[in-house]
A and B are shown apart, each in its own frame.
Chain A
């Protein structure tokens, strides 16, 4: 590690930085560049900033932090880049660098969530109950609230219904990640996933509800917390033939467990094994229930499209279930959810949210397929904002 980096945490790799030839072919793919026209909000610019720090010509200062915070980590630039620049892991490392110097106000709250709460699965479930109670008693309305802010739809009635922890008794052993947000706010999806994975010939076993994969912490500059959560999940799922994940951000992240723990001799091997066995649920050979899904707008999660190359699978699944897939005319631009982006960059996030909601509404479909809880919250808020009555569902819920 060289020059301007803080040696106490990870930093963007010099070879990764060198692989960018500054051709600019990624610029049009980048939502934040498109919205602002600023090089400081472009992938090439962000890499140039990393290069400057790496070469000691710049430092991790307020400008650096803003550039990295404005990034959605949607990785659309990776898909566009002919040089194969691994931007996703670079920006994660850059954010880890940017974290320590942050002003304490916003930082402490975030830190509490990412580093204290998420690695404690029981605390996550308790928090869910508190949130559910708040919603049920309408106490949450007393809290300060930004207009249109996306939040997890936690419902007491759902929380009280037990989840099926085991389903199916034949075929390969599939460990289904319960996850944090999904197991508190999208429980019907979890049920549908268990049902469909089992129906597709697996012995499906669910991990403990509330257990977070660590993606959120990793995206927001806390690699150590992410490592802790990775070890917890690995301990739970190692041994399964396949690890099934129904949230795009989580499947993308769990596939990087090998890299994340490469320097930990006790865990590296298991991490690599789990990563190699991780599949997004949409990558499985799924037996869709024959049905009449009808017109459905297709939203691609960035972490499916970019990095995992998952595009055709959900479409094929929906078609098999009688769906008529309608594409959005926005070229798959990020919806602006991007983890905590709505909190850290409310303005850019709101603009992207609105564009996405309008693109969905323009298809005229009564339902939109969304395969990531972050996107789902954002899109729900966006559709409400423009007053469009479009229902959301994961492809697995529609086809299962």
Chain B
């Protein structure tokens, strides 16, 4: 749109083959969205294949005055990869090489477009895997995971993405290539790697990543516990952890969600349960046996109606498939969903869930819950139809109520999906002026011209030196 001079596409075609510069209106439109409900418009889309091509594209964008929005698989749930005001979308989906695997560390150097699950499959024969496992792991890219600092069910025990990123290569606004960290422990100097992880494409383009690989656990126990009330399920989760057990994962799903998911997977989920908790423990056989015993005992004490233990790898895979298809299956209830990602102290979990139930009633909406219960990371999903304007207004109001309810008990805005566009204007709820200013300065240090993914993460046009506490308005043409 405005920012795009007429010959931009031709200039990029001098850098990349024609097929990898997307200019046709209908084709650009497909890059206007990610997995969230935000929608913008791409001025132009490029798909470079090498770091040199990324660097050349970024340099040309600077020369043409175009903003650059990096994009992985576009499964993000906060609108991070949504281009605004005709920005250049730089899609990394062709950079899918696993460059090197070092079994000794163990770690792997990968290009950003490598899909999370593809990496785990590629190292399976070595008895290794990549531990952070967002539910979107079949589709999301490692570059996107790094940029959102993604979490996943197993991050309860293994930690989120930042704990698995050893080194990074980043292309900055002038096209310079920066190498940050590496397999060596404790690199001297500032930890800029930490700044880039979770930066949601606002400081540069990640072009290669050194990730830690994790040995596959020798034993695994997976059980689905079924409860007659959400309260009982929530208390069960806290009680297990209070026993000193940290399971690999503890995932909860409520009644409406169970019904939607069961239609897709046919895993035999209990359709009459108020909530189910999927618990997984892993480690040495003895350790797993001990944890399993705790889960069984605490489960009974909290009134679990049934504890279904996966008998083999096939059943385990089926139970996980049920959990991991949850967001997608929402369409069986309504065509759109608006999703929050707050984290609340585990001890307040039940209270917040009940409040969410009241919010749903108040706004006459269906809210479904499926979330990482072990670390209190809620995912209340408001199901709606965006063609219904009245409903859309209620969705927005309910969303705000949910966030306020979470923040009121000491929660934070996002556990793993990031802030992007959707949560941006809520930032002042949890950060004061000084916090926001410091963050803006850090961002400006790497991207002084504000070239990368402008309008994201920080409210208004927050820049170093100017603190903007007022929730800024989204640019024209953005649909939320």
Contacts and interface: CB of A to CB of B under 8 A. Distances in A.
B472 interface: no
A58 B328 contact: no
Contacts of B4: none
Contacts of A204: none
A58 B25 contact: yes
Contacts of B96: 37
A37 B30 contact: no
A27 B73 contact: yes
A36 B264 CA distance: 28
Interface residues on B, range: 35 or more
A39 B94 CA distance: 11
A83 interface: yes
A19 B27 contact: no
B214 interface: no
Nearest to B22: A40
Nearest to B115: A28
Overall SS of chain B's interface: mixed
Given A23-B35, A28-B118, A83-B330, A39 B139 contact: no
A49 interface: yes
B278 interface: no
A37 B328 contact: no
Contact of A82 (B26, B33, B74, B328): B328
Nearest to A34: B96
B210 interface: no
Interface in A72-98: 80-85
A83 B332 contact: yes
A52 B115 contact: no
A312 to B, nearest CB: 13
Given A24-B139, A25-B139, A61 B26 contact: yes
A49 B332 contact: no
Interface string B102-118: 00000000000101011
A18 interface: yes
A20 interface: yes
Nearest to B336: A21
A264 B312 CA distance: 50
Main secondary structure on A side of the interface with B:
loop
A25 B337 contact: no
Contacts of B385: 18
B33 A22 contact: yes
B331 A85 contact: yes
B26 A24 contact: no
A48 B82 CA distance: 14
A37 B136 contact: no
Contacts of A148: none
A84 B331 contact: yes
Nearest to A26: B139
Interface in A82-136: 82-85
A82 B325 contact: yes
Interface in B24-67: 24-27, 29-31, 33-35, 47
A29 B233 CA distance: 35
B327 A23 contact: yes
B73 A24 contact: yes
A400 B110 CA distance: 49
Nearest to A57: B29
A64 interface: yes
B35 A37 contact: no
Contacts of A20: 331, 335
A23 B328 contact: yes
A170 interface: no
B249 interface: no
Nearest to B116: A28
Contacts of A26: 139
A81 B329 CA distance: 8
Contacts of B138: 25, 28, 80
A22 B336 CA distance: 9
A52 B73 CA distance: 20
Contacts of A85: 331
A18 B335 contact: yes
A322 B74 CA distance: 47
A63 interface: yes
Nearest to A61: B26
Given A28-B117, A48-B33, A63 B91 contact: no
B26 A19 contact: no
B160 interface: no
Give the residue among B25, B263, B385 with the most A Cβ atoms within 10 A.
B25
A82 B264 contact: yes
A20 B139 CA distance: 15
A386 B326 CA distance: 43
Given A22-B33, A23-B136, A82 B329 contact: yes
B26 A63 contact: yes
B327 to A, nearest CB: 6
B91 A21 contact: no
A38 B24 CA distance: 13
A38 B22 contact: yes
B323 to A, nearest CB: 11
A19 B335 contact: yes
Given A48-B30, A83-B329, A38 B47 contact: yes
Given A19-B335, A25-B136, A85-B331, A39 B26 contact: no
Interface string B316-328: 0000000001111
Interface of B: 19, 22, 24-27, 29-31, 33-35, 47, 73-75, 91, 93-94, 96, 113, 115, 117-118, 136, 138-140, 261, 263-264, 325-332, 335-337, 385, 387
8 contacts: A20-B335, A21-B35, A21-B335, A25-B325, A26-B139, A38-B19, A38-B47, A38-B93
Q: Nearest 4 A-B pairs (CB), nearest first?
A: A82-B328, A83-B331, A82-B325, A37-B93
Given A23-B75, A28-B115, 18 more contacts: A19-B331, A19-B335, A21-B337, A22-B34, A22-B35, A23-B35, A23-B327, A24-B74, A37-B113, A39-B93, A40-B22, A48-B29, A58-B25, A67-B27, A82-B328, A83-B328, A84-B263, A84-B332
